């Protein structure tokens, strides 16, 4: 396939990577670490997905839905305000790359999550399953799953920690309006990790008629691969748009990393373009003390969490550490196995941004561009601006703006107080 091809629907033509192997391994990472009762369901999912991969009707149908329902193609937008801000950090007139935003905030439901949930809901239909379940933290994946379930007429139960239910009331109400049932989880820290445990437990007893729509590139094989493939529409569109707007590949791409799905979807089609610098930004939180951040690629060790091997934040005895980020979507102690693989191979650089820096970038984006970004995406903007300042003026940097910030306005107002 030539790099000028603009077919953005079918990921199989883009299967350029050697990973995962047939056992779902990304080097040492990935794999399937689940109880016996789930092995068969995962094998069935793997088989169905292999068939889907060769089914052009499936990808055409999904491409149509992406256009008429999600509002894709999302724009690649030249961010002159942020570019100006970045250039003003530097005296040297030869420096300061042009900054572009890939506008996933404009996708239906307000973030990239819908790219994955529609695809997986179509797979659930194909498998003859009439119920879907999901885990959710901030509620964005819950809302996107409830939306896909409403569209396809599927019954939908969403597991959510009771602490998150309290913090994210707007999204809880949205899910209920969409016809989903929100099930509170009272275990552990009552947040995303605990909701994921509970969703896996449900699935063990319900696999016959239920599909589990996992929300990021995490979990046992084949989930990390499936979610990456559905999200890679972001990177495929971006590649075609870059060729149209700048007649070249971008020099640098920056994306935030929670579980890692928006970053994987953006990076994957560029992995073989070795001249393109890829940078993933984790949640640096309040400090580098354990419990104060959510940055497993920066501070974690290899371990098993939620069915796969990857970098995990853990203490000496292997217990999963508590996490903190101002952004609920990044507040997770694990990360997808492909990111661990990209880190170890050196293909992608990973770094952190603190709560404070992310808040500052939230306000930059609002005031310089008239775009209120998600706090998650603000982490990517916070890193992109100083990096662009050190690049040459002819160069181009793309930020994946993974979502919009309506859900965060109250929290940001609270955190900024008088400074707003």
Ligand X SMILES: *Cc1c(COP(=O)(O)O)cnc(C)c1O
Q: How many residues bind ligand X (CB under 6 A)?
A: 18
For residue 262, state whether it binds ligand X (rule: CB under 6 A): yes
How would you list the strands of the sheet with 29-30, edge to edge?
A: 25-26, 29-30, 308-312, 301-305
Of the pair 200, 374, the CB lying nearest ligand X is at 374
For residue 113, state whether it binds ligand X (rule: CB under 6 A): yes
Q: Is 301 a catalytic residue?
A: no
Length of the chain (residues) = 420
Q: How far apart are CA 327 and CA 378, in angstroms?
A: 9
For residue 333, state whether it binds ligand X (rule: CB under 6 A): no
For residue 300, state whether it binds ligand X (rule: CB under 6 A): no
Q: How far apart are CA 71 and CA 359, in angstroms?
A: 28
Residue with tokens 């896909």: 148
272: tokens are 């073989």
Of the pair 32, 144, the CB lying nearest ligand X is at 144
CB-neighbour burial class of residue 347 (10 A; exposed 0-12, middle 13-18, buried 19+): middle
Q: Which stretch binds ligand X (CB under 6 A): 177-185, 252-260, 286-294, 340-348?
A: 252-260
DSSP SS3 for 164: helix
DSSP SS3 for 281: strand
Q: Exactly one of 199, 374, 391, 399 binds ligand X (CB under 6 A); which one?
A: 374
In the complex, residue closest to ligand X by CB = 403
Q: Exactly one of 225, 253, 257, 391 binds ligand X (CB under 6 A); which one?
A: 257
The beta strand positions in 154-228, using DSSP E, are 155-161, 181-185, 210-212
414: tokens are 């609270």
Q: Is 113 a catalytic residue?
A: yes
Q: Is 176 a catalytic residue?
A: no
DSSP SS3 for 161: strand
Of 397, 384, 46, whose CA–CA distance to 222 is shortest? 46
For residue 388, state whether it binds ligand X (rule: CB under 6 A): no
Q: Exactly one of 258, 269, 285, 307 binds ligand X (CB under 6 A); which one?
A: 258
Count the Cβ atoms, other than its own, within 10 Å of residue 64.
11
Catalytic residue among 102, 104, 135, 378: 135
Catalytic residue among 113, 193, 343, 407: 113
Q: Exactly one of 119, 329, 333, 334 binds ligand X (CB under 6 A); which one?
A: 329
The H-or-E segment that residue 367 falls in is helix 355-369
Q: Exactly one of 66, 83, 86, 140 binds ligand X (CB under 6 A); which one?
A: 140
Catalytic residue among 129, 163, 402, 407: 402
Q: Which stretch binds ligand X (CB under 6 A): 84-92, 243-251, 374-382, 391-399?
A: 374-382
Give me the active site residues, please.
Answer: 113, 135, 402
Q: Report the interface residues with ligand X, using CB under 6 A.
A: 111, 113, 140, 216, 256-262, 329-330, 374, 376-377, 402-403
């Amino acid at each position: 396939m030539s790099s000028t091809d603009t077919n953005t629907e079918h990921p199989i033509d883009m299967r350029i990577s050697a990973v995962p192997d047939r056992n779902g391994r990304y080097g040492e990472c990935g794999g399937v670490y689940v109880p016996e009762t789930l092995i068969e369901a995962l094998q069935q999912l793997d088989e169905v997905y292999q068939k889907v991969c060769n089914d052009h009707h499936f990808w055409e149908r999904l491409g149509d839905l992406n256009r008429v329902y999600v509002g894709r193609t999302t724009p690649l937008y030249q961010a002159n305000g942020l570019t100006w801000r970045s250039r003003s950090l530097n005296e040297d007139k030869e420096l300061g790359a042009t900054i572009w935003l890939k506008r996933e905030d404009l996708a239906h439901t307000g973030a990239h999550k819908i790219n994955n949930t529609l695809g997986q809901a179509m797979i659930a239909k194909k498998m003859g399953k009439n119920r879907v379940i999901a885990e959710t933290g901030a509620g964005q994946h819950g809302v996107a799953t409830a939306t896909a379930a409403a569209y396809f007429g599927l019954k939908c139960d969403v597991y959510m920690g009771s602490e998150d239910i309290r913090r994210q009331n707007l999204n809880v109400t949205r899910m209920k309006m969409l016809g989903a049932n929100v099930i509170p989880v009272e275990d552990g820290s009552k947040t995303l990790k605990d909701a994921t445990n509970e969703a896996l437990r449900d699935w063990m007893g319900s696999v016959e008629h239920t599909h589990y729509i996992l929300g990021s590139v995490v979990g046992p094989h084949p989930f990390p691969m499936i979610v990456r493939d559905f999200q890679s529409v972001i990177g495929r569109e971006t590649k075609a748009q870059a060729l149209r707007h700048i007649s070249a590949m971008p020099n640098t791409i920056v994306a935030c990393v929670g579980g890692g799905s928006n970053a994987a979807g953006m990076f994957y089609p560029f992995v073989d373009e070795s001249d393109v610098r890829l940078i993933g930004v984790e949640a640096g939180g309040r400090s580098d003390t354990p419990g104060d951040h959510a940055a497993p690629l920066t501070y974690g060790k290899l371990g098993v969490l939620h069915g796969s091997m990857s970098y995990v934040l853990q203490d000496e005895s292997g217990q999963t550490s508590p996490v903190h980020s101002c952004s609920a979507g990044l507040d997770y102690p694990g990360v997808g196995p492909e990111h661990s693989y990209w880190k170890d191979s050196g293909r992608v650089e990973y770094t952190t941004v603190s709560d404070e820096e992310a808040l500052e970038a939230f306000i930059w984006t609002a005031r310089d561009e008239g775009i209120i970004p998600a706090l998650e995406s603000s982490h990517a903007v916070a890193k992109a601006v100083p990096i662009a300042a050190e690049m040459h003026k002819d160069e181009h940097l793309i930020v994946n703006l993974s979502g919009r910030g309506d859900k965060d306005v109250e929290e940001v107002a609270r955190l900024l107080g008088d400074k707003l």
